[in-house]
Amino acid sequence: MPELPEVEITARRLDRAAAGAIVESTLAPGMVALKTFDPPLDALAGATLRGVRRRGKMFVVELGELALLVHLMSAGRLQLFDKRASLRDRASRILIRLSDGRELRLREFGTQQRAWGKLLPAAAVEDDEAVATLGPDAYPAPPAEEFVRILAQPRHLHPLLRDQRSIAGIGRSWVDEILWTARLSPFRKGSELDPDEVERIRAACDGCLGGALEHYEEVIGDTVPDKLPMPLQVHRRAGEACPRCGAKIEAVHFKDYVMCYCPEEQTGGRVLKDRRLSRLLK
Ligand SMILES: [Zn+2]
């Protein structure tokens, strides 16, 4: 799932390429992707695409007086194409055809239909439930006092940092990187951290997310590739050597994601029970 740096670089590139374009027509082949019906998608015809920006892990495509709020969920992509989609493209969910022949397309891969868009009056975006409930952006990281308040919850750091209502923009990839950078266990509780540990997480948010964004600015040209070159050090690297201390990176497998960490530096040498393994052994 694209997280803050991936959505941000995509929004920047789409904004650069498409701002000022005029909408000719629209289509929503993915029946369930458009979650609103008033105003209708047709209302976009003739609107000027004013810009594309990010809120949390969502896009806001500003179109005249309206705005399309887009959430990619785990398998969506928001991409600009030079030509119109074939109607046989089964990945198409929402199509915005521009008068210059290009097309802004929300696509989704895989079998599930979870990516969504909401067409709203531009002024109503901030009040939409998905936006209004967001915590502050994880990058740039909130000031120290605010960060202390955000983490002061008796919950494990891994789900806490991924909770968009607490802090916005972090998902399953970057949470591993942030906790590894801060040298903290994913199973520590936010409310149990000392001020130095809180500050390490805060600095790691800036370092990891800001560093990823800088990396993308350098390596990504005008078009964002389907698969972003994510500069990950531990996530998806179970079994490899920790780039900092050389210990073997371990993983805990959950139903639909994997948590990676360095036991040497994050859990006091302890290898955490892998739920997948223990379930298999039962
Ligand atoms: Zn290590």
Q: How far apart are CA 4 and CA 45, in angstroms?
A: 30
How much distance in Å is there from the Cα of 186 to the middle of ligand 1?
14
Q: How far apart are CA 191 and CA 195, in angstroms?
A: 10
How much distance in Å is there from the Cα of 175 to the middle of ligand 1?
16
How much distance in Å is there from the Cα of 187 to the middle of ligand 1?
17
How much distance in Å is there from the Cα of 178 to the middle of ligand 1?
13
pTM: predicted TM-score of the whole model, two decimal places: 0.95
What percentage of the chain exceeds 90 in pLDDT?
A: 88
Residue recorded with tokens 């799932």:
1
How much distance in Å is there from the Cα of 277 to the middle of ligand 1?
23
Amino acid at site 221: G
Q: How far apart are CA 223 and CA 205, in angstroms?
A: 26
E strand or H helix at 258, and its extent? Answer: strand 258-261
Rounded average pLDDT over 229-255: 96
Residues listed for the chain: 282
> 197-221: per-residue pLDDT in tens?
999 999 999 999 999 999 999 999 9
pLDDT band (50, 70, 90) for residue 282: very low
Q: How far apart are CA 241 and CA 247, in angstroms?
A: 5
pLDDT value of position 110: 87
Indicate the pairing of strand 103-108 with strand 250-253. unpaired
pLDDT band (50, 70, 90) for residue 280: low
Q: Indicate if the pLDDT at residue 180 is higher than 80.
A: yes
- Token pair, residue 210, equals 């800001």
Residue recorded with tokens 């609107």:
47
- Please give the radius of gyration of the chain, using alpha carbons only, rounded to the nearest integer: 20
How much distance in Å is there from the Cα of 234 to the middle of ligand 1?
9
How much distance in Å is there from the Cα of 33 to the middle of ligand 1?
42
How much distance in Å is there from the Cα of 265 to the middle of ligand 1?
5
pLDDT value of position 86: 80
Please tell me whether residue 123 adopts helix, strand or coil conformation: helix
Would you tell me how many other CB atoms lie within 10 Å of the CB of residue 275? 13
Peptide bond into 39 cis (omega under 30): yes
How much distance in Å is there from the Cα of 42 to the middle of ligand 1?
54
Q: Indicate if the pLDDT at residue 278 is higher than 70.
A: no
Q: How far apart are CA 81 and CA 177, in angstroms?
A: 32
How much distance in Å is there from the Cα of 56 to the middle of ligand 1?
30
How much distance in Å is there from the Cα of 261 to the middle of ligand 1?
8
pLDDT band (50, 70, 90) for residue 31: confident
Segments of 90-187 assigned E as strands:
92-98, 103-108, 116-121
